[in-house]
Chains A and B, each alone.
Chain A
Amino acid sequence: MLFSGATFLYAFLPAILLCYFIAPGVRWKNAVLLVGSLIFYFFGEPVYVLLLVFSSLSDWIHSLVIEKHRGDRKAKIALISSIVINLGMLGFFKYTDFLIGTVNAVFGASIPKTGVPLPIGISFFTFQTMSYTIDVYRGRAHAQRDLATMATFVCLFPQLIAGPIVRYVDVAAELEDRRHTLEGAALGIRRFAFGMGKKVLIANVMGELTQIFRDSGDKSVLFYWLYAVAYALQIYFDFSGYSDMAIGLGAMFGFKFPENFNYPYISKSITEFWRRWHMTLGGWFRDYVYIPLGGNRTTKLKWLRNIAVVWILTGLWHGAEWNFVLWGVMFGVLLIVEKLWLGKLLEKLPGFVNHVYVLFVVVLSFVVFNAAGLKGVVSDIGGLFGAGGIPLVSGEAVYYLRSYAVAILAAVIGATPLPKLLYNKLHEAPKVALEPLATAVLLALSTAFIINGSFNPFLYFRF
């Protein structure tokens, strides 16, 4: 079920809100959320909902074992068992066919692929559950004794399938007791409406342009760049819009989810970009991979190894294709280069140059990200620089540049804090009408786009 679908917005959401606020006490409210979340997931993945239940059960049992045997070997075994099960699920569903394909390609074998479809959101919920058992093992969280509460955490529909990656410690207290305030609800609604607008009015429109490029037989260098910029904007507004909706929904139900984006396209270095982009994933890899490996408090060689491991894993997390690995490696190399040499140079350069550098790299990186395998990377990156003798400009490229100029400009401005800064300068009085009006307009406009059946995929669902 998509947040930006009629089933969610005008059937599921009102129904669950009604049941939730009628339900007395936090235990019943959790029960409503749990049942609702299972229905939510069931609509998209009828069979794999059992996987979700299994995941909840498995980590609930493992965490209890860990807590019972805290400090001894059994706790460690339980932790390893939990990680093996989680990574095993992720590996089986996400990477088996990738591995088979690679073996076939390298050794000329013809091992048949499993063809098992990827459960929606598996990368998100396995990371959440892993963080839970690891935190229990480290003593940062108490094991949740109530299975229903634990399952509510794992299955919580706002962040279940596309993040942000919410750790148990982030919401542990709220799972037991949370307040529902008018302010929380209003701010959640506002956040949800803005996220919906980002997704439906900007990301989907950019998505139409990227699809037009893919379908066009009139490619040119200009068209490749138009595509690259459109895709960079699409993926930002798609994913950050989803995160906004998730955070907004969480707030409506009394939860405070972590932020996931902080205007990444205004960054002045790639290091800064990754502090602003998909912050919960970056934080997860930092806390559960990079630091346990020794982080930067080790020899230079091991430090470089640690960065390499994190970024290969980051690439692989995003997709089981070599272009994702390349994408991760590319950022790993750039981060190392920035930390060793480029960072100091960037500090001395004018901010404008830094922005151009970051945007150039990021736009290229998303072309790699969205390519169809490594062959697609060569073709798409080549196209940006005129490979294959394509013309600099084509009639279609100019036409679509003109046709989407306003949307691109709006997206570029919307990717900066400028609208928020301007809004914050307003006095409170006009905001009394403006905020409800903006909420209504965004929801109504988004509904208009949804009804018209326009392009509506969520890019991060495949992760």
Chain B
Amino acid sequence: MKKVKYILTVAVFVCLIFGFALGQLLLPDRANSETERRELAQAPELSAKALFNRQFSDDLESYLLDQFPLREGFRTVNALFRFDVLRQMDSNGIFLKDGGIYKTETVTNTDQIQYAARLYNTVCQDLLSECNVYFTVVPDKSWFVREEGRPTLDYDGLFSIMRSSVTGARYIDILDTLSADKYYRTDTHWMQPALFDTVAALARAMGTEDALTPESAYTARTLSPFRGVYLGQAAVPVPPDSLTYLTSPDTDAAIVSGPMYKYDTLYPTELFEGMDGYDVFLGGTQPIIEIECPGARTDRELYIFRDSFGSSLAPLFAGAYKKITVIDLRYVSSAYLPNAVTFTPGSDVLFINSTLVLNTAMIMR
């Protein structure tokens, strides 16, 4: 009987070690991971320099890990073992609650938040002195499910710094218009169809609420499956979301342009199959986009300084503003802006960034 046990043990080991080694050798390498939304490491080039500075051994390990057979399955096993067997409350900051996936940032970068406030003030002072300037802060969705003890960003501190330090713009509170279920379960972003209250609150403060496209005029269009950024990080078997975007006669009539913008619509749906499905909203990372809105019921202009949350928000102002200019200070320097954008006196300006971006604000210039 012992002999059978020994044979089985050796057989299991040989099958696993040699099986996966052969799999590594024979299976074609993949260029990227859809679930993790990143490019996968490729076979490193062998050179004397790379060998002697240990770059080759480091790169080889990364390559083997990234191209490992059944990699996604192994990552799921890891996540399930942590959550269901070890009963860990989070895994590298990722946690599950009510079917949603959340990630907590635990380090509050006060200096970066203060930098954001200073940057807002500088832009207000240098470029926007004749405009009506507002700002708001988009809370990370983990803010809505915060609980005693769970490490989290110091949201109170962040809001406090922004509200007290941004002197050139008026704060608009949107917290009451949001809740965890208004964000995608598997992604960090909010859902466009859940933003009517938020848009109304912002437009009310800016005096254009009556001109907004009515909710009933929108048609919801859905793209599936939408695998949010947290789905890949968590590697848990949570079903993907569906991404919904809203069209209306106002959005359909909009004319979109920009120095890097290659599309003729607010929603370039061909980007849905790319690394980040949320790029459907205004094409993802874009420094400056101008949206002409012929259907608008006012002659006013709106400038939105935003991150990706603003991408899904901006189209919903198409009925209220004749022209909307969307600016991302992560991709265009504020010092360069006078060369690229003319700020019309009397226009509305909205700074809208998420807590995640404000906490790493030095990526804005």
Q: Which residue of A lies closest to B79 (CB)?
A: A452
Docked Cα-Cα span, A439 to B57, in Å, equals 28
Partner of B3, one of A6, A10, A182, A454: A182
- Return chain A residues, CB-CB under 8 Å to B51: 42, 46
B16 proximal to A (CB < 8 A): yes
Of A74-82, A298-306, A440-448, the one with at least 4 CB within 8 A of chain B: A440-448
Of A267-275, A330-338, A370-378, A430-438, the one with at least 4 CB within 8 A of chain B: A430-438
A5 proximal to B (CB < 8 A): yes
Docked Cα-Cα span, A13 to B64, in Å, equals 14
Q: CB distance B12 to A436 under 8 Å?
A: yes
Docked Cα-Cα span, A346 to B11, in Å, equals 49
- Return chain B residues, CB-CB under 8 Å to A435: 5, 8-9
Q: CB distance B65 to A6 under 8 Å?
A: yes
Docked Cα-Cα span, A41 to B362, in Å, equals 42
Q: CB distance A205 to B86 under 8 Å?
A: yes
Of B6, B51, B81, most buried by chain A (CB within 10 Å of CB) is B6
A351 proximal to B (CB < 8 A): no
Docked Cα-Cα span, A186 to B54, in Å, equals 34
B62 to chain A, nearest CB (A): 9
Query: With A432-B1, A436-B5, A452-B235 given, is the CB distance from A14 to B12 under 8 Å?
Result: no
Docked Cα-Cα span, A403 to B10, in Å, equals 36
Docked Cα-Cα span, A402 to B11, in Å, equals 39
Docked Cα-Cα span, A431 to B235, in Å, equals 33
Q: Which residue of B lies closest to A181 (CB)?
A: B6
Q: CB distance A46 to B52 under 8 Å?
A: yes
Taking chain B's interface residues, is the majority helix, strand, or loop, or is none over half, making it mixed?
helix
Docked Cα-Cα span, A13 to B75, in Å, equals 22
Q: CB distance B78 to A439 under 8 Å?
A: no
Partner of A10, one of B12, B24, B148, B150: B24
Complex interface bits, B84-126 against A, C-beta within 8 A gives 1, otherwise 0:
0111111010000000000000110000000000000000000
A33 proximal to B (CB < 8 A): no
Taking chain A's interface residues, is the majority helix, strand, or loop, or is none over half, making it mixed?
helix
- Return chain B residues, CB-CB under 8 Å to A428: 1-2, 5
Q: How many residues of A contact B (CB 8 A)?
A: 61
Q: What is the interface residue range for chain B against chain A? A: 35 or more
Q: CB distance B151 to A451 under 8 Å?
A: no
Complex interface bits, B36-74 against A, C-beta within 8 A gives 1, otherwise 0:
000000000000000111100100110011001001001
Complex interface bits, A7-44 against B, C-beta within 8 A gives 1, otherwise 0:
10111011101100000000000000000000000111
Q: CB distance A431 to B5 under 8 Å?
A: yes
B331 proximal to A (CB < 8 A): no
Q: CB distance B10 to A185 under 8 Å?
A: yes
A449 proximal to B (CB < 8 A): yes
Partner of A406, one of B8, B85, B107: B85
B144 proximal to A (CB < 8 A): no
Partner of B75, one of A17, A18, A432, A451: A451
B155 proximal to A (CB < 8 A): no
- Return chain A residues, CB-CB under 8 Å to B60: 7, 11
Query: With A396-B151, A453-B65 given, is the CB distance from A190 to B17 under 8 Å?
Result: no
Docked Cα-Cα span, A403 to B24, in Å, equals 35
- Return chain A residues, CB-CB under 8 Å to B74: 444, 447-448, 451-452
B349 to chain A, nearest CB (A): 36
Docked Cα-Cα span, A27 to B54, in Å, equals 31
What would be 26 A-B contacts, judged by CB atoms less than 8 Å apart? A1-B57, A6-B65, A7-B61, A10-B20, A11-B21, A11-B60, A17-B17, A44-B57, A46-B51, A189-B9, A215-B106, A215-B107, A216-B151, A396-B149, A399-B149, A407-B88, A431-B5, A432-B4, A435-B8, A435-B9, A436-B8, A436-B12, A445-B78, A449-B81, A451-B65, A451-B74
